[in-house]
Amino acid sequence: MGAGHGHKLHFHGHSPVHRAPAHLKILTLIAFMLVVVATPREWYPVFGLYLLLVVAVIALSRVPPTYILKRSVVEVPFLFFALLLPFVATGPTTEVLGVTVSQHGLLAAWGLLVKGTLGVLASLTLAATTEPQEILLGLERLHLPAQLVQIMAFMVRYLDVVTGEMQRMKVARESRGFSARNPRHWPVLARSLGALFIRSYERGERVHLAMLSRGYTGRMPR
Amino acid sequence: MHVPDGFLDAPTSIATGAAAVACVGTALAGARRELDDKTAPMAGLVAAFIFATQMINFPVASGTSGHLLGGALAAVLVGPFTAVLCMSVVFLVQSLLFADGGITALGTNIMLMGVTTVVVGWLVFRGLQAVLPKRLTLVPFCAGAAALVSVPAAATLFVVLYEIGGTADIPLHSLATAMIGVHVLIGIGEAVITFLAVASIIAVRPDLVYGARRVLARRELEVRTSTGAAT
């Protein structure tokens, strides 16, 4: 907890990718992903080139590839959707391994798969090589409204506090023999949610008062 | 639930991004009225709360479970403008720090799950409050109804966006039936949980619930001097 610690996806290192200014990394990520998304999905070799590029950056950052791959699981739910596409889309059909599937659907599934995977890999690389504090400073340099950066800073700062509080409530529930198995247990979980909101909100009030007593006027000191 | 990169084509992603920028800008101006100089710490903590909320899994049946989107809940608890800010910051952090939802789809995600759920939820909530009698016990019901409508509304917007900028030609009616059908069910779950959560907060700290302030303002301060003087 506290400043200086990386978030869950951060991998500490000192490579050129780690040291690059955060705002450049964010801009590069956005530009790269826009190009990827705008590339027609029939240009198969170009995607190989993109993948090589991402792999090269990961290699340069010296973040272990297994570290990135393990965290790519966020992609899994939408892989199911991509796998479903060839069966629900319309248009001319073709046979793959004896199963009749839609050609358009197959192509769309390929497009989704390759673009989504590139997106996840590129985002994970940014997250693995950049401290949250750096990302905040980068966004500030990119002239994101100061108010928004401040809200984000408070959220990042208190994320572990609030999720930790939630975790402790979960431990407390389960040590009393509670385990959520079906909708009949929703009222208990929802009451925990209510308690978590009250605690978060009151913590926000205390933080605000503490800031006021240190001379806060609505603007963060440099 | 988060839209990944490449799901919608580049022009649609840029258009939703521009729309999201406009909405967040409006919310920034509006949130100052809801929270004044408290905005940054309060909205930050509420955003962390929303993030945590999305981590609580509600068991449905036989091992499956779902989590709350929280748009309507946030709108009722902290007001629509702050709620839009909180949801947007949650998606920004999820996309940059957790690789959840594509960076080019950030605008789409904010419009779908942030702005639409909050705005629709708030309109339904306010509409019901205007019609129903002003009683504190009715606030959770209005919040539940708001959550019920907000989820299928977001799904409908998704279908519209997919029709404009989708990358696979799925017949519109089958996509619409599947998406909206599934999300009506999700909406029912969201409604029940929102109702229960708001009810539990109202029972303890009704003054924290933004949507209940008008109702609270109508309650008169009771000064019971005859019993209080004894101590």
Q: Which sequence spans correspond to the domains of chain B?
A: 10-216
Q: Is the pLDDT of residue A1 over 50?
A: no
Count CB-CB contacts under 10 A for residue A202: 13
CATH topology of domain B10-216: Arp2/3 complex 21 kDa subunit ARPC3 (1.10.1760)
Of B83, B80, B98, B79, the residue nearest B49 (C-alpha) = B83
Using an 8 Å Cβ cutoff, are B214 and B134 in contact? yes
Angle between helices B39-53 and B10-35 (to 10 degrees): 130
Q: What is the mean pLDDT of residues A96-106?
A: 70
pLDDT of the residue at B148: 92
Q: Which residues 12-31 of A are in CB contact (within 8 Å) with B?
A: 26, 29-30
With beta carbons under 8 A apart, name residues in chain B contacting A114.
Answer: 6
Find the farthest-apart pair of alpha carbons in chain B and give their distance in angstroms, rounded: 77
- Residue A88 CB partners (closer than 8 Å, separation 6+): A102, A105, B170, B174
Residue with tokens 């027609």: A40
With beta carbons under 8 A apart, name residues in chain B contacting A163.
Answer: 48, 51-52, 55
Higher pLDDT, A74 or B12: B12
With beta carbons under 8 A apart, name residues in chain B contacting A25.
Answer: none
- Mean of pLDDT over chain A: 82
Nearest neighbour of A29 by CB, restricted to B61, B103, B198: B103
Nearest neighbour of B51 by CB, restricted to A78, A157, A159: A159
pLDDT of the residue at B117: 92
Shortest CA gap B2–chain A (Å): 9
CB contact B68 to A (< 8 Å): yes
Q: Which pair of tokens denotes residue A213?
A: 């007593």
Contact criterion met (CB < 8 Å) for B51 and A162: yes
Angle between helices A103-129 and A76-88 (to 10 degrees): 170
d(CA A130, CA A115): 23
Nearest neighbour of A163 by CB, restricted to B4, B52, B92: B52
Residue with tokens 């949650």: B90
How large is the ipTM? 0.84
CB contact A138 to B (< 8 Å): no
Residue type, B121: G
Q: Which residues 150-209 of B are in CB contact (within 8 Å) with A?
A: 167-171, 174, 189, 192-193, 196-201, 204-205, 208
Q: What is the mean pLDDT of residues A110-119?
A: 85
pLDDT of the residue at B195: 93
Q: Which pair of tokens denotes residue A185?
A: 């247990």
Cα dihedral: B43, B56, B205, A217 (round 10): -20
- Residue B199 CB partners (closer than 8 Å, separation 6+): A194, B140
Q: Which residues 89-128 of B are in CB contact (within 8 Å) with A?
A: 89-90, 92-93, 95-100, 102-104
Q: How far is CA A65 from CA A56, A60, A202, B148, in A?
A: 11, 11, 42, 42
Q: What is the mean pLDDT of residues A11-29?
A: 85
Q: Which residues 162-181 of A are in CB contact (within 8 Å) with B?
A: 162-163, 165-166, 180-181
pLDDT of the residue at A2: 38
pLDDT digits (tens, 9 = 90+) for A118-142: 888 888 888 888 888 888 888 888 8
With H, G, I as helix, E, B as strand and everything else as coil, classify residue A95.
strand
Q: Is the pLDDT of residue A6 over 50?
A: no
Residue of A nearest to B37 (CA): A218
Provide the H-helix boundaries in B36-171.
39-53, 71-78, 80-97, 106-109, 117-131, 139-165
Interface probe for B, chosen from A112, A123, A188 (most Cβ of B below 10 Å), is A123
Q: Which pair of tokens denotes residue B58?
A: 């509600």
CB contact A85 to B (< 8 Å): yes
Angle between helices B39-53 and B71-78 (to 10 degrees): 150
Consecutive H or E run containing A101:
strand A99-102
Contact criterion met (CB < 8 Å) for A90 and B170: yes
pLDDT of the residue at B34: 74
Using an 8 Å Cβ cutoff, are B208 and B77 in contact? yes
d(CA B6, CA B26): 28
CB contact A106 to B (< 8 Å): no
With beta carbons under 8 A apart, name residues in chain B contacting A214.
Answer: none
pLDDT of the residue at A100: 67
Phi, psi of A162, rounded to the nearest 5 degrees: -70, -45
Shortest CA gap B185–chain A (Å): 13
Q: Is the pLDDT of residue A107 over 60?
A: yes
Confidence of residue A5 (pLDDT cuts 50, 70, 90): very low
pLDDT of the residue at A92: 67
Of A143, A136, A186, A141, the residue nearest A159 (C-alpha) = A136
Using an 8 Å Cβ cutoff, are A36 and A144 in contact? no
pLDDT of the residue at B224: 80
CB contact B53 to A (< 8 Å): yes
Interface probe for B, chosen from A47, A161, A193 (most Cβ of B below 10 Å), is A193
Residue of A nearest to B189 (CA): A183
Angle between helices B10-35 and B139-165 (to 10 degrees): 160
Nearest neighbour of A193 by CB, restricted to B56, B60, B86: B56
Per-position pLDDT tens, chain B of length 231: 677 787 788 888 889 999 999 999 999 888 877 766 777 888 888 899 998 888 877 777 666 667 788 889 999 988 899 899 999 999 998 888 887 778 888 888 899 888 999 999 999 999 998 898 888 888 999 999 999 999 999 989 988 888 887 766 677 787 788 888 888 888 888 899 899 999 999 998 888 888 888 888 777 777 887 765 554
Of B127, B161, B10, B231, the residue nearest A115 (C-alpha) = B10
